[in-house]
């Protein structure tokens, strides 16, 4: 595949600025494949948790730390990777991070004990957070003035990971073994790195990337209030999600894999709907967390398969609205420093995943599968209220197009 992007003469944006339209979406598709495989890798333990825990000699609650340590590494990486690599070409960094993801997965696949497994998961956290921090900017660089489409595409990778990755891991884990699931993720990750290297053009860093950009973004009070809401909604989800299989098996054990697929299908629908509602960003950002809270309550209180299906599908639908909404929210609030705003959003997610998985594991071991869902529901509802109270500045598509990526169109 060619990595050339045909360029037509500049045209006027709706706000009066000149932009250069991209003639191919192939690089965006390659970026989406990267998010798919890395997010699949992050949540593989959720699909194979009982067998993985038994094999390495830990409880189900402790095994949930395999997700938490990935998030810890991500929380540290997201705000610092641009400081370490302020001038590095973003294409080179993104390809290297996918390669690191492949190394992380093969390490987990071959891990002789839980300690080595955690080392592999730490490396995956670095790869995932770094990739998320730079992927949106790279996507907007090759597809200027289409930030909502780029955000939806990247978030679609998350939905695809949940609809295919976790259920497929459960199938492979049951039939072949959990180690085979991670070995397969290694191969797919290497393939995604190759595709990205062949299709994404060079993406120079933004001139102010690094500490100056991050310092100014952190000084934006409205942005930081929104980041706090991101922490809450992500915590609400990930207090429960690592233990979704156990929540399903509390009601039925004969349809686990198909209910995981249903979660992902609901997520794909939520992802598309969120992209379609991008113009109504404030109610979208508030409604997603509120709906997530409701879905977790329905799932926790389900005592029959029909109720469980409703809760699971609604859960997937609601949560997968959140990545699209929050990406667009932070870049609306900080269009001039979108790369740093995105890194803070990624950090918020990873901090919340760390805390959510750890606290959810404690609640699971102490009180059973319902408890993490109900606690997550309360926190998600608080996030929805927070986003509802925060005002947004008017959209400026020309600024977003110019500043979100490394290069200026």
Q: Which domains are seen in the chain, by residue range?
A: 25-403 (1.20.1250.20)
Give residue 402's pLDDT. 42
Counting Cα atoms < 13 Å in the Cβ hemisphere of 357 gives 23
User: What mean pLDDT is predicted for residues 5-25?
Assistant: 42
Question: Are 60 and 249 a contacting pair, CB within 8 Å?
Answer: no
pTM of the model: 0.73
Average pLDDT, rounded, for the chain: 82
- Report the C-alpha gap between 381 and 318 in whole angstroms: 12
pLDDT above 80 (res 121): yes
How do residues 183-214 score in pLDDT, each as one tens digit? 989 999 999 999 999 999 988 876 656 677 78
Give residue 293's pLDDT. 96
Give residue 395's pLDDT. 64
Least confident of 176-180, 229-233, 318-322: 176-180
More confident residue, 7 or 279: 279
- Report the C-alpha gap between 363 and 366 in whole angstroms: 5
Least confident of 50-59, 107-116, 183-192, 277-286: 50-59
How do residues 233-279 score in pLDDT, each as one tens digit? 999 998 998 788 888 988 887 778 788 888 888 888 998 898 888 88
Q: Could you count the other beta carbons within 10 Å of the beta carbon of residue 207?
A: 12
More confident residue, 306 or 87: 306
Q: Could you count the other beta carbons within 10 Å of the beta carbon of residue 398?
A: 20
| Residue entry with tokens 């949940």 | 162
| Residue entry with tokens 């001039």 | 336
Percent of the chain predicted with pLDDT > 90: 34
Cα three-residue angle 227-232-233, rounded to 5 degrees:
100
323: Cβ contacts below 8 Å, ≥ 6 apart: 151, 154, 155, 158, 271
pLDDT above 90 (res 107): yes
Q: Could you count the other beta carbons within 10 Å of the beta carbon of residue 1?
A: 10
Alpha-carbon torsion angle 268, 349, 164, 40, nearest 10:
150
Percent of the chain predicted with pLDDT > 70: 87
- Report the C-alpha gap between 186 and 96 in whole angstroms: 14
Tokens of 141: 């660089």
Give residue 14's pLDDT. 36
How do residues 65-88 score in pLDDT, each as one tens digit? 787 788 788 888 888 887 788 778
Cα three-residue angle 213-234-152, rounded to 5 degrees:
70
Confidence of residue 6 (pLDDT cuts 50, 70, 90): very low
């Amino acid at each position: 595949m060619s990595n050339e992007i045909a360029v037509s003469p500049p045209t006027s944006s709706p706000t009066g600025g000149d932009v250069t339209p991209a003639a191919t979406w192939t690089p965006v598709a390659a970026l989406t494949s990267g998010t798919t495989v890395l997010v699949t890798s992050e949540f593989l333990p959720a699909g194979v948790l009982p067998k993985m825990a038994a094999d390495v000699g830990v409880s189900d609650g402790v095994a949930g730390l395999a997700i938490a340590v990935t998030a810890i590494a991500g929380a540290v990486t997201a705000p610092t990777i641009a400081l370490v690599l302020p001038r590095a070409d973003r294409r080179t960094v993104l390809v290297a991070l996918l390669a690191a993801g492949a190394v992380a997965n093969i390490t987990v696949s071959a891990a002789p004990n839980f300690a080595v497994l955690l080392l592999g998961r730490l490396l995956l956290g670095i790869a995932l957070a770094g990739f998320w921090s730079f992927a949106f900017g790279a996507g907007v660089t090759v597809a200027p003035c289409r930030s909502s489409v780029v955000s939806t595409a990247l978030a679609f990778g998350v939905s695809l990971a949940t609809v295919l990755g976790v259920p497929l891991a459960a199938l492979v884990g049951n039939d072949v073994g959990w180690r085979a699931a991670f070995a397969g993720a290694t191969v797919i990750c290497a393939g995604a790195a190759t595709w990205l290297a062949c299709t994404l053009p060079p993406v120079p860093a933004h001139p102010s990337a690094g500490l100056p950009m991050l310092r100014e973004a952190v000084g934006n009070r409205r942005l930081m209030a929104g980041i706090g809401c991101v922490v809450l909604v992500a915590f609400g989800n990930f207090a429960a999600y690592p233990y979704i299989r156990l929540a399903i098996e509390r009601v039925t054990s004969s349809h686990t894999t198909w209910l995981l697929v249903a979660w992902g299908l609901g997520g794909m629908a939520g992802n598309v709907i969120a992209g379609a509602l991008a113009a109504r960003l404030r109610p979208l950002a508030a409604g997603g967390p509120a709906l997530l809270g409701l879905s977790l309550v329905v799932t926790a209180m389900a005592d029959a398969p029909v109720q469980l299906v409703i809760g699971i599908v609604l859960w997937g639908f609601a949560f997968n609205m959140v990545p699209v909404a929050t990406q667009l929210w932070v870049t609306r609030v900080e269009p001039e420093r979108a790369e740093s705003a995105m890194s803070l959003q990624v950090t918020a997610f990873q901090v919340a995943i760390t805390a959510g998985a750890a606290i959810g594991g404690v609640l699971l071991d102490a009180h059973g599968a319902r408890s993490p869902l109900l606690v997550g529901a309360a926190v998600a509802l608080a996030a929805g209220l927070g986003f509802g109270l925060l005002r947004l500045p008017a959209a400026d598509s020309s600024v977003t197009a110019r500043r979100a990526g490394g290069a200026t169109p």
